Amino acid sequence: MICEGEEAMTHTSISKGKSLKIFLSRLGFPAAVILVILIVQETVTLGEAIRSILAAGLVFFGVFLVIRLLDAALLVWYMRRRKPYPLPDVLRGLILAVLYVILVLIILHKLQVDIKPYLTGSAILTAVIGLAFQGVLSNVFSGISLHFTKAFSRGDWVEIGPYEGIVMDTNWRETRILDRYSNIIILPNNTVATERITNFSRPDPIAALTMTFKISYDAPAADVLKALLEAANDASDVLDAPAPEAYITSYDEFGVSYLCKFWITDFARKNPIMGDVGRLAWYKLRRAKIDIAVPLGEKVGDIVQAMKSSSSREGGSAPAADSEGNFQDLRRSSFLRHPQGDSSGRMIISDEDIKTMANQVRRSSYAKGEILFRQGEKGRSCFVVAKGKIRGQIAYEESGKKFLSEFTLEPGGIIGEMSLFTGMPRTATGIVAEESELLEIQADDFAVLLNRNPALAETIAEIVSARNEQNREFLKKIKELSDKDIQDGTNKKTILEYLRKFVHSLTR
């Protein structure tokens, strides 16, 4: 492991190595030429004309050396401060070339060489070259323009015309982007400059995504909007702030169009995140018995099939709801069992009562990643795991530090029962760890059971109060629980009064 001081020394040594390499690459050639000229002047007998040419060469390469020295110094200065060089390579090279040409012309003039023919010829040559390389020059100047306007940089996610991807490189001629299919797309800079550019990485990496859903007219709008917002909130890569939004956008003969809008920071995962939100929305809409609008042909097929099924049952009674699966899952679960003592693990209620509840509880499918409930929320239901796996998380504080405790529930496990039995806020967050089937026992279902078994409420109150009293010190560490919540949750009399209110609610 590298400590902070060692890491700083490593960066410094790397920076010095790069600096030396830059200076050597810039100064090596002119310094070598100057050295050769000086040696020739001192060791070889030359005529006056040759000496004048060598003197002019010495001046040229001396100034050339100074220019290259300044160029290298600027590069090193920006490199050590980890700042981008303000000029693109092509523009910097163009400026240096112009300086060298001016320097040559000045030296020729000092040597009393008539430079007018060169100027005239260079103008004609420039025009010919300009016409021949019109496309290339267009790309060059477009590249310079893109650099100064800072439309994008390497690593940005952009949309250029019909192309979307991450900028891999941009040079004097072209811009290269890597699209979502791992293809390199090469775009000439003049094409880039004329297209509409959308930069998803600026001014910050937060980007909004939208998904449209077509829903049947039969579905209550409030329920649809709630399901879409829950789907966006449950997706792990969707930001909590800005908060997701959902609203109606239009009506037509096929249904109602809803739009769900949410924000992300990892635009590279746009498609997987949208797929995650869509998957969660499907499960939530299905559990709420909300139909996604389908083409009329498919709807007619469903109607015909329903008519055939109805005809085949004509003259006989409709089959009773199959609650055998619910009964078996409830009977195998830890719901309403003695937690300890001689009766540990034994059911508190009879099989007949379990069958009655099995006819009432709701079995639903849940997608991986869905949030059943969050710690601190009010709740009047609990869940029995029939298939799959649930992960629970308890956030608590101790000695000024925050901790997170996790537990896993597999088939037969139960979560959320404390809120159902006592009315306490949720003491944990329930997350679906893999695709699961859950039996949800709501307060109304539980009230029917208590009404059939008047003594059951006292048994439950005794078990729950003892359990919470045993866990009192840990419950105090959960900031969402007030002292009153803990006191009521450990008081047998208070819990018994709360449970009896369930029965009273049935007689209203």
Are residues 216 and 194 both part of a single domain? no
Q: Which domain holds residue 50?
A: 17-132
Cα 196 to the chain's mean position, in Å?
25
Q: Considering only CA atoms, which of 190, 286, 277 is closest in space to residue 237?
A: 277
Instruction: Give residue 10's pLDDT.
Output: 40
Instruction: Give residue 109's pLDDT.
Output: 67
Query: Residues 6 or more apart from 499 whose CB is under 8 A from it?
Result: 421, 450, 457, 460, 461
Are residues 84 and 154 both part of a single domain? no
Rounded Cα–Cα distance for residues 394 and 408 (Å): 12
Instruction: Give residue 68's pLDDT.
Output: 81
Q: Which CATH number goes with the domain that contains 192? A: 2.30.30.60
Instruction: Give residue 185's pLDDT.
Output: 92
Instruction: Give residue 116's pLDDT.
Output: 60
Q: Which CATH number goes with the domain that contains 286? A: 3.30.70.100
Cis omega (within 30 of 0) on the bond before 84? Answer: no
Are residues 218 and 195 both part of a single domain? no
Instruction: Return the DSSP state at 374.
Output: -
Are residues 230 and 163 both part of a single domain? no
492 in a domain, yes or no? yes
Rounded Cα–Cα distance for residues 239 and 232 (Å): 9
Where is 328: in which H helix or E strand? helix 324-332
Instruction: Give residue 124's pLDDT.
Output: 52
For residues 196 and 250, the answer to whether their CB atoms sit within 8 Å is no
Residue with tokens 């650099």: 147
- Residue count of the chain: 508
Query: Residues 6 or more apart from 31 whose CB is under 8 A from it?
Result: 65
Are residues 41 and 81 both part of a single domain? yes
Instruction: Give residue 75's pLDDT.
Output: 80
Query: Can you tell me whether residue 415 is helix, strand or coil?
Result: strand
Are residues 153 and 278 both part of a single domain? no
Are residues 107 and 217 both part of a single domain? no
In 10 A of CB 182, how many CB atoms?
A: 7
Are residues 276 and 173 both part of a single domain? no
Query: Can you tell me whether residue 202 is helix, strand or coil?
Result: coil
Cis omega (within 30 of 0) on the bond before 242? Answer: yes
139 in a domain, yes or no? no
Query: Residues 6 or more apart from 269 whose CB is under 8 A from it?
Result: 237
Query: Can you tell me whether residue 165 is helix, strand or coil?
Result: strand
Query: Can you tell me whether residue 352 is helix, strand or coil?
Result: helix
Rounded Cα–Cα distance for residues 373 and 380 (Å): 11
Are residues 372 and 496 both part of a single domain? yes
Query: Residues 6 or more apart from 194 whose CB is under 8 A from it?
Result: none
Q: Which residues pair with 431 in a beta bridge?
A: 371, 391
Instruction: Give residue 4's pLDDT.
Output: 39
For residues 139 and 187, the answer to whether their CB atoms sit within 8 Å is no
For residues 355 and 459, the answer to whether their CB atoms sit within 8 Å is no
Where is 361: in which H helix or E strand? none
Sign of torsion over alpha carbons 445, 451, 455, 458: positive
Are residues 80 and 178 both part of a single domain? no
Are residues 417 and 478 both part of a single domain? yes
| Helix residue ranges per DSSP H, 44-115 | 48-80, 89-110
Q: Which CATH number goes with the domain that contains 347? A: 2.60.120.10
Q: Quote the number of domains for the chain.
A: 4
Q: Considering only CA atoms, which of 279, 182, 271 is closest in space to residue 234?
A: 279
For residues 408 and 433, the answer to whether their CB atoms sit within 8 Å is yes
Query: Can you tell me whether residue 421 is helix, strand or coil?
Result: helix
Are residues 171 and 243 both part of a single domain? no
Query: Residues 6 or more apart from 432 whose CB is under 8 A from it?
Result: 366, 367, 368, 369, 370, 371, 372, 388, 389, 390, 391
Rounded Cα–Cα distance for residues 408 and 393 (Å): 9
For residues 407 and 346, the answer to whether their CB atoms sit within 8 Å is no
| Helix residue ranges per DSSP H, 394-482 | 417-422, 443-452, 456-470, 472-475
Residue 403 φ/ψ region, left for φ over 0, alpha for ψ in the -120 to 50 degree band, beta for the rest: beta
Residue 399 φ/ψ region, left for φ over 0, alpha for ψ in the -120 to 50 degree band, beta for the rest: left
pLDDT along the chain (508 residues), means of 10: 40 60 81 84 77 79 83 82 67 73 74 60 53 57 71 88 90 84 89 87 90 92 95 94 95 92 93 94 93 61 50 40 83 85 81 89 93 93 95 93 94 93 94 95 88 87 91 93 93 91 69
Rounded Cα–Cα distance for residues 126 and 138 (Å): 15
At 202, list the tokens: 């600026």
